[in-house]
Amino acid sequence: MGKHRSTTVVAVKHNDQIAIGADGQASFGDTVAKSTVRKIRKLSTGNIVVGFAGSTADAFTLMERFEEKLGSYSGNMKRAAIELAKDWRTDRYLRRLEAMMITINKEEILTISGNGDVIEPDEDVAAIGSGGNYAKAAALALKKHGSKLNSEQIVKESLNIAADICIYTNHNIIVEKP
């Protein structure tokens, strides 16, 4: 997770609702290149939402491959994620891509990495990117002590907390639900 700077993506399942969000900052070295990048995309007619961290071009390549896998496996997110992770680990071209993804549907959250990992979070919170650990800690605390908040509110607040701490994360936040 450490090398994927320039963003924060967090997904939360709370009270049987799942939301995912990301900030909008793209950095080039230690300079803000753009502050309104959209790092969240709806796939499969909106039933699956993907958030990415890392190189934008690499992330789009992975999202395209993931969408192909979704088509091949009738929209089964977990199966598509596993097959993408297998390809990502073994394909010479894909192995060079530097990005990570979090995918959600109405039931589950998955983190997909280039190491061949497909991880279902234990605490129903997943986060990636430079501010990922800050957002994850905030989301876990909010879930534990802020049960009045819904999943979208927890995502937004945890991203705002991460943006206050991480210089590669801003307050231009987009939150989506499947």
* Residues labelled catalytic: 7
- The distance between the two most distant Cα atoms of the chain, rounded to a whole number of Å, is 47
Q: DSSP for 83-106?
A: HHHHHHHH-HHHHT--EEEEEE-S
Q: DSSP for 45-72?
A: GGTEEEEEEE-HHHHHHHHHHHHHHHHH
Of the candidates 53, 49, 57, 62, the one whose C-alpha atom is nearest the C-alpha of residue 159 is 53
Of the candidates 108, 142, 144, the one whose C-alpha atom is nearest the C-alpha of residue 126 is 108
